[in-house]
Amino acid sequence: MVNSLHRPQYELFRTMMIEAREVAGLTQVQVAKALGRPQSFISKYERGERRLDFTEFVDIAGILGIDVATFVSIYQDSVKARDLRQCLR
């Protein structure tokens, strides 16, 4: 079984988190400071070296100003679209 950090779904999640941070106009350092964590914490989950748990995700979402329910809905729609593309190949 593929390590969950390397599944396409988690890659999508990481990409969405990076984009959300960039749209918020924040650097990794700024997010880390707001969390009281080192910058390497942000770098590791963005690069896929570390997995975010749900409570960490919710904390980061609050800092980035993203609505968790909307984020999850967009994620689910994107996964479904990706799955459909795979079926059509």
Mean pLDDT of the chain: 91
- pTM for the model stands at 0.85
| Domains of the chain (ranges, CATH numbers) | 4-87 (1.10.260.40)
Res. 6 pLDDT band, cuts 50 70 90? confident
Backbone angles phi, psi at 48, to 5 degrees: 85, 20
Backbone angles phi, psi at 26, to 5 degrees: -110, 145
Q: State yes or no: pLDDT of 56 exceeds 80.
A: yes
